């Protein structure tokens, strides 16, 4: 279970305000469908069976989508290192990216999972158009290799129906970035042979944990808000584990898209340490005092590589040390240095790199974003800023046709 350590945060929380998930649901009943325990029902069993079946037939699953439609899935697969048969595309209009994916797929068997709640996002639809054509040219029974995940009755849903494509629906009351534990994330992760029942268990147990009035998720949301009130307007979400880096992407998305509103909110920024200590580490230490930092730390690290019989005399005092120990020393060093530099830090401790922990942590960040909205008095479930870009692009594209 996730634990939040505020020792170096400069924030002292004596007692938490009485904010519950009931308050969130009551205020936003039409968009909080994800705040309830997930049951392994016939839909989920169908997702697992379909995903396992298609896995046996193809070399790759091409997942097409952007933002909330793919960031959670990618975080999960990176964390579990199960992503060698899953390719993600559709996040840009960059033709080089399309060409490089096409090159990977040449001579290979592949299936497509196109994901868009609105069924209207141009990056997604245009990328789907290109790869649907490729599949049509290379596979006679291509219809059996296309899986559509979308909102009921969306334009993409109607297209899928007209073309007889297998469709998974996203419930109306679950928004993009909160939808990873629906077919959006469950189908591709089940394809990658992740035990999605364990993800669900981790998420359900996080939901249970926030029923405790003294829960760590609310503690994190309150600490962020108090730091914001002390003019800490940038949060570095930092990890020392490459496998967790893509989790910082979905954390960034949940926090920024949910809470960056009405001219306010904290700007989250992902960092991978120790890499980024050699670049923005300078700013953290001596730049403008607008930052605080949240470390994502794994309690039970793998510990397999040991330095032995070191030949380089400059570092031979490290004989017998493991890389994980050294990584932990790096974390302790940063903690100390940033404390001295008056940068408040929060540490979020995650048990391990497991499917259970992913579910636990994803639900933690969804709930922390929702609590953050209630605390800051902003609606965490809309994204007018993102929609403005989408509308302008649509208008521009249509005016040129």
Q: Catalytic residue positions?
A: 257, 278, 390
When asked if residue 118 is in the footprint of ligand PA5 (CB under 6 A), the reply is yes
Q: Are 344 and 9 in contact (CB under 8 A)?
A: yes
Per DSSP bridges, beta strands 86-89 and 60-64 are parallel
When asked if residue 90 is in the footprint of ligand PA5 (CB under 6 A), the reply is no
When asked if residue 87 is in the footprint of ligand PA5 (CB under 6 A), the reply is no
Q: Answer positive or negative: Cα dihedral of 359, 360, 361, 365.
A: positive
Residues in Cβ contact with 375 at an 8 Å cutoff, skipping those fewer than 6 apart: 17, 19, 221, 222, 225
Q: Is 269 helix (H, G, I), strand (E, B) or coil?
A: strand
Which tokens in the block code for residue 280? 């923005």
Taking contact as CB under 6 A, which single stretch among the options 45-53, 170-178, 219-227, 371-379 is the one that binds ligand PA5?
170-178
Taking contact as CB under 6 A, which single stretch among the options 100-108, 135-143, 174-182, 189-197 is the one that binds ligand PA5?
174-182
Q: What is the distance, to the nearest Å, from the Cα of residue 97 to the centroid of all Cα atoms in its chain?
A: 21
Please identify the residue of the shown chain whose CB is closest to the bound ligand PA5: 176
When asked if residue 127 is in the footprint of ligand PA5 (CB under 6 A), the reply is no
Hey, how many other C-beta atoms are within 10 angstroms of the C-beta on 395?
10
- By CB under 6 A, the count of residues binding ligand PA5 is 15
When asked if residue 177 is in the footprint of ligand PA5 (CB under 6 A), the reply is yes
When asked if residue 68 is in the footprint of ligand PA5 (CB under 6 A), the reply is yes
Cα distance between residue 165 and residue 168, in whole Å: 10
When asked if residue 58 is in the footprint of ligand PA5 (CB under 6 A), the reply is no
Which residue number, 8 or 127, has a Cβ lying nearer to ligand PA5? 127
- Minimum CB distance to ligand PA5, residue 100 (Å): 22
Hey, how many other C-beta atoms are within 10 angstroms of the C-beta on 193?
13
Which residue number, 290 or 394, has a Cβ lying nearer to ligand PA5? 394
Binding mask 357-386 for ligand PA5 (x = CB under 6 A): --------------------------x--x
Residue 397 CB burial class (10 angstroms; 0-12, 13-18, ≥19): exposed
When asked if residue 117 is in the footprint of ligand PA5 (CB under 6 A), the reply is yes
When asked if residue 116 is in the footprint of ligand PA5 (CB under 6 A), the reply is yes
Q: Answer positive or negative: Cα dihedral of 164, 169, 175, 176.
A: negative
Name which of residues 191 to 250 contact ligand PA5 (CB under 6 A): none
When asked if residue 66 is in the footprint of ligand PA5 (CB under 6 A), the reply is yes
**Eight-state DSSP code of residue 144:** G
- Which residue among 72, 175, 202, 265 contacts ligand PA5 (CB under 6 A)? 175
When asked if residue 121 is in the footprint of ligand PA5 (CB under 6 A), the reply is yes
- Inter-helix orientation angle 95-105/122-138, to 10°: 30
When asked if residue 257 is in the footprint of ligand PA5 (CB under 6 A), the reply is yes
Cα distance between residue 6 and residue 13, in whole Å: 9
Contact residues for ligand PA5, defined by CB under 6 A = 66-69, 116-118, 121, 124, 175-177, 257, 383, 386
């Amino acid at each position: 279970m996730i634990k939040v350590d505020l020792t170096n945060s400069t924030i002292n929380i004596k007692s938490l305000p009485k904010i519950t998930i009931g308050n969130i649901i009551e205020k936003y009943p039409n968009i909080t469908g994800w705040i309830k325990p997930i049951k392994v029902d016939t839909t989920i069993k169908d997702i697992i069976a379909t995903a396992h079946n298609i896995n046996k037939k193809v070399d790759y699953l091409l997942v097409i989508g952007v933002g909330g439609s793919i960031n959670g899935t990618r975080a999960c697969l990176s964390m579990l290192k199960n992503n060698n048969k899953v390719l993600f595309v559709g996040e840009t209009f960059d033709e080089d990216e399309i060409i490089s994916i096409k090159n990977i797929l040449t001579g290979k068997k592949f299936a497509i999972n196109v994901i868009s709640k609105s069924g209207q996002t141009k990056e997604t639809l245009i990328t789907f158009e290109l790869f649907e054509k490729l599949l049509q040219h290379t596979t006679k029974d291509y219809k059996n290799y296309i899986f559509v995940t979308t909102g009921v009755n969306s334009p993409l849903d109607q297209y899928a129906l007209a073309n007889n494509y297998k469709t998974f629906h996203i419930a109306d009351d679950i928004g993009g970035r909160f939808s990873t534990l629906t077919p959006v994330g469950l189908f591709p992760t089940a394809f990658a042979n992740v035990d999605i029942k364990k993800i669900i268990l981790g998420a359900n147990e996080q939901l249970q944990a926030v029923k405790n009035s003294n829960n760590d998720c609310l503690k994190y949301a309150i600490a962020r808000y108090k730091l914001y009130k002390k003019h800490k307007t940038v949060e570095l979400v930092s990890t020392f584990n490459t496998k967790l880096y893509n989790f910082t992407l979905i954390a960034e998305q949940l926090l920024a898209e949910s809470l960056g509103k009405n001219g306010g909110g904290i700007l989250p920024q992902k960092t991978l340490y120790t890499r980024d200590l050699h670049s923005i580490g300078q700013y953290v230490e001596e730049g403008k005092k607008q930052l605080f930092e949240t470390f994502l730390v794994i309690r039970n690290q793998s510990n397999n590589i040991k330095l032995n019989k070191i030949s380089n005399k400059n570092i031979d005092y490290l004989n017998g040390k493991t890389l994980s120990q050294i990584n932990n020393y790096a974390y302790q060093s940063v903690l100390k240095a940033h404390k001295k530099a008056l940068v408040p830090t929060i540490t979020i401790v995650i048990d391990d790199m497991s499917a259970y922990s992913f579910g636990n942590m994803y639900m933690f960040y969804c709930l922390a974003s929702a609590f953050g909205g209630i605390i800051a008095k902003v609606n965490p479930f809309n994204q007018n800023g993102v929609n403005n870009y989408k509308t302008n692009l649509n208008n521009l594209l249509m005016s040129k046709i």
